[in-house]
A and B are shown apart, each in its own frame.
Chain A
Amino acid sequence: MATQGGIVFQEKVSRLLRGQNGKPVLKPNRALVLKDAVANRKPKKGEASCITEMSVLMACWKQNNFVDSLCSNEINSFYMCVEKAQADAKNKAGQSNIQGGRLPPKEATGLLKRYPNLCKEI
C-alpha cells in the first residue's frame, strides 16, 4: 500500500519538477529528501534564582567588611536556597519531558537516526 502510494507520489513530484509547458513549478536547491534529524527547540530562559538571598548576604558582607564568620546565618540560608533551586530545576526538567504530548526533539532525533531514511538501494 505504501509502495503504491509512493509511486503515485513520485510521479507527482517529477511532474512538478519537469513542469507543465516546459516551466517547472519547483526549483529545489537541495535534494527533496527528509533529514534524519529534527530541529532543536530553544530552551526557555528562566529567571535568576536566589537573588534576594544573595543580596542579603552581600549587604551583610558590606557591613562586616567581608568577614565570613559574622555572616554565617546568611551564608547558610543562601546555600539552602541554592540547593532548593537546583532540586527544583532537576524536577522541572524531568516533568517537562513527560508532559507536552509531543516527543522532545532530542529523543525524536535519536529515533530517526536509528531508523534512517533510506536514499539508496545499496
Chain B
Amino acid sequence: MAASISGLLKPWTPRVFLVRWSRYNPYYLEPEVSKEAYSQPETELSAEEKEQRELKALRPIKAATSGVTSSVFDDPVISKFINMMMKHGNKVLAREIMTQTLENIKKKQVEKYHKASEGEREAIECNPYTIFHQALENCKPVVGLASIQKGGKYYQVPIPLTDNRRRFLAMKWMITECQDNKHRRTHMYEKLSQELLAAFGKEGNVIKKKYELHKMAEANRAYAHYRWW
C-alpha cells in the first residue's frame, strides 16, 4: 500500500478495504458530497467536467468523513470551526457548544428586534449563520507578519496571506479569546455569542487584535523587500 510517485500508479484495488483515518493511496479520489454536483444535466457540463465524471466512475473513492453531509444545512466553515473548538476528540461537546451559540445569538437578536421601533427593525439581522459568517469575515486579517532572517537579525516582514491562513487565524483568535478572557462562571457559548455579535458590529477584542496586526504590518512596511516570493 506504499504511495509512490504518481506516474507509477496502476489500476489497483486492495484486498482489504481501507477505513477513513488510515492513509489512502494517492490513487483514491475525494468524494463529492454536494447534491448540486449530481443534479446538473449532461449538456451543462464542460469537457473537463465530463472527463472528471468518467474518471470517478472508474477509480476507487475515499470514504466520506462523518463530519460532512449532503444536507442543505452542511456548512464547511462551521464544521471547521467546530473541529477547531474540539478538545480530546469530544466532537459531541463542540457541536453542542456551537448549536447553543447559534441559538443564543438568535435569541439576543430576536429580543432586540422586538424591542426596536418599526424603522430600526429592518436593519437588525436575525439569521445566526449570516452573523457568524460576517463576524468571521470582519475578523480576517489582510496581511500577516513573517519572521525573516537577514544579516543575523530577525525582522517581522509584512506578507500576503492565503485565504485558508486568514480564515484559520480569524477562527483561532476567536476561540482563544473566548477560552481565555472570560469569567470562570460564564459558559463558552455565552462568551462566544457575545464575541461574535461584537465582531459583527466591528467591535470587541478579536477585531482589536486584527487591527493591532495591521498596525504592526504598517509599521514594518519598510522591510517588505526582505521577502523573496
Q: Which residues of A contact B (CB under 8 A)?
A: 45-51, 54-55, 57-58, 61-62, 66, 68, 75, 78, 82, 85-86, 89, 110
Q: How far is the CB of B46 from chain A (nearest CB, A)?
A: 20
* Bound Cα distance A82, B138 (Å): 20
Query: How many A-B Cβ pairs are below 8 Å?
Result: 46
Instruction: Give chain B residues whose Cβ lies under 8 Å from the Cβ of A45.
Output: 228
Whether A54 contacts B229 by the Cβ 8 Å rule is: no
Whether A54 contacts B214 by the Cβ 8 Å rule is: no
* Bound Cα distance A47, B228 (Å): 5
Any A CB within 8 A of the CB of B227: yes
* Bound Cα distance A62, B218 (Å): 8
Q: Which residues of B contact A (CB under 8 A)?
A: 5, 138, 142-143, 158, 160, 162, 211, 214-215, 217-218, 221, 224-229
Among B138, B215, B221: residue with most chain A CB under 10 A: B221
Instruction: Give chain B residues whose Cβ lies under 8 Å from the Cβ of A89.
Output: 229
Whether A61 contacts B224 by the Cβ 8 Å rule is: no
Given the contacts A48-B224, A51-B224, A78-B142, A61 and B5 also touching, CB distance less than 8 Å: no
Whether B221 contacts A48 by the Cβ 8 Å rule is: no
15 A–B contacts, CB within 8 A, in A order: A48-B224, A48-B229, A51-B224, A51-B225, A54-B224, A55-B221, A57-B142, A58-B158, A58-B218, A58-B221, A62-B218, A66-B215, A66-B218, A68-B138, A82-B160
